[in-house]
């Protein structure tokens, strides 16, 4: 058989291979796990800017939010989950739904703008939540706090967005050590994790919130640098998050890069590969 006869078949086979590879990858992402890069410092020191993880979508079952959003502005692609699975939205239910637990680190869709957020769940439906003098109160009882070593990081540009950290020790120069107070917080169900504090500010004292049925209350572990459920949706906050907006649970950091690009191998954080998320 001549080369001219086999070449078209070879091209067609390549096209089919690429098609099936993309289809399988899309199904895998839609049903089982979704990749997620940490873009901000709101969950330090549990999660650092540049951490890469897979979100377990099977943990809580499936809703419209389980469908992937694909946004590539450079080539004009902007496909939202509602464009694909919007028909499932509105009744705040899930298929094969599972209940999240207090202390889970969860990726969810913002109730208003649809952006993916990652925070820690601290309030279940029916719970009361309040922050008083920087201490989280759940159902009228303060959580247990223990002193921990300060969290230290270099004051420098972080991640692709080039963000600089906020420091409790004031304005420090480029390359200096940026310090934050760290504590261990134990939630009512025994889940223990670290939190960071930077300064006294308005979010350290909040009204008393009662979490509505079918909704959840989230906070970032970097308490003074997190836009979360303490802030009303009307002023750019998160507010209460509906059950159907949960995407999945984050269980483990798979890879971590401290530089502007994951290709900068000298910035890889080897101690965070496959690190369990508490």
How confident is the model at residue 3, as a pLDDT?
44
How confident is the model at residue 186, as a pLDDT?
98
- H or E element in which residue 179 lies: strand 177-186
Q: Show the tokens assigned to 5.
A: 């006869």
| Cα–Cα dist 119/104, whole Å | 8
How confident is the model at residue 18, as a pLDDT?
60
| Cα–Cα dist 64/94, whole Å | 8
Alpha carbon dihedral 250, 253, 258, 264, in 10-degree steps, equals -120
Q: Show the tokens assigned to 173.
A: 């120069």
Would the CA dihedral through 52, 54, 59, 65 be positive or negative? positive
Q: Please check whether residue 166 is in contact with residue 172, taking contact to mean a CB–CB distance below 8 angstroms.
A: no
Length of the chain: 278
User: Catalytic residues, which ones?
Assistant: 42, 119
Q: How far is CA 174 from the centre of its chain?
A: 28
- Listed residue (138, 71, 63, 103) closest to 249, CA to CA: 103
- H or E element in which residue 264 lies: none
Q: Which domains does the chain have, with CATH numbers?
A: 32-276 (2.10.109.10)
Q: Please check whether residue 79 is in contact with residue 71, taking contact to mean a CB–CB distance below 8 angstroms.
A: yes
What are the φ/ψ torsions at residue 195 (nearest 5 degrees)?
Answer: -130, 155
- H or E element in which residue 150 lies: strand 144-154
| Cα–Cα dist 195/146, whole Å | 10
How confident is the model at residue 263, as a pLDDT?
82
Is 78 exposed, middle or buried (CB count within 10 Å of its CB: 0-12, 13-18, 19+)? exposed
Averaged pLDDT in 10-residue chunks for the chain of 278 residues:
50 62 52 85 96 93 86 79 86 91 97 94 98 97 97 92 91 93 97 96 95 98 96 90 96 91 86 94
């Amino acid at each position: 058989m001549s080369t001219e006869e086999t070449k078209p078949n070879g091209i067609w086979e390549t096209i089919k291979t690429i098609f099936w590879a993309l289809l399988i990858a899309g199904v895998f992402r839609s049903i089982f796990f979704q990749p997620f890069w940490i873009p901000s410092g709101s969950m330090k020191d549990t999660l650092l800017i540049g951490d890469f993880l897979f979100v377990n979508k099977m943990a809580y079952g499936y809703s419209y939010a389980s469908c992937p959003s694909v946004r590539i502005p450079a080539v004009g692609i902007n496909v939202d989950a509602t464009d694909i699975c919007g028909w499932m939205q509105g009744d705040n239910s899930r298929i094969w739904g599972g209940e999240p637990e207090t202390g889970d680190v969860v990726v969810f869709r913002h109730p208003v703008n649809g952006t993916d957020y990652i925070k820690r769940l601290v309030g279940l439906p029916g719970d009361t939540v309040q922050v008083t003098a920087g201490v989280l109160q759940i159902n009228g009882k303060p959580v247990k706090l223990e002193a921990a070593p300060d969290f230290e990081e270099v004051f420098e540009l972080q991640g692709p967005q080039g963000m600089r950290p906020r420091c409790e020790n004031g304005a420090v120069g480029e390359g200096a050590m940026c310090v934050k107070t760290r504590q261990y917080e134990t939630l009512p169900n025994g889940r223990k994790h670290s939190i960071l504090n930077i300064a006294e500010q308005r979010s350290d004292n909040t009204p008393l919130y009662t979490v509505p049925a079918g909704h959840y209350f989230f906070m970032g572990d970097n308490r003074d640098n997190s836009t979360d459920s303490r802030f009303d949706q009307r002023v750019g906050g998160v507010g209460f998050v509906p059950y159907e907006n949960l995407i999945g649970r984050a269980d483990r950091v798979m890879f971590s890069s401290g530089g502007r690009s994951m290709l900068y191998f000298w910035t890889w954080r080897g101690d965070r590969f496959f690190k369990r998320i508490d």
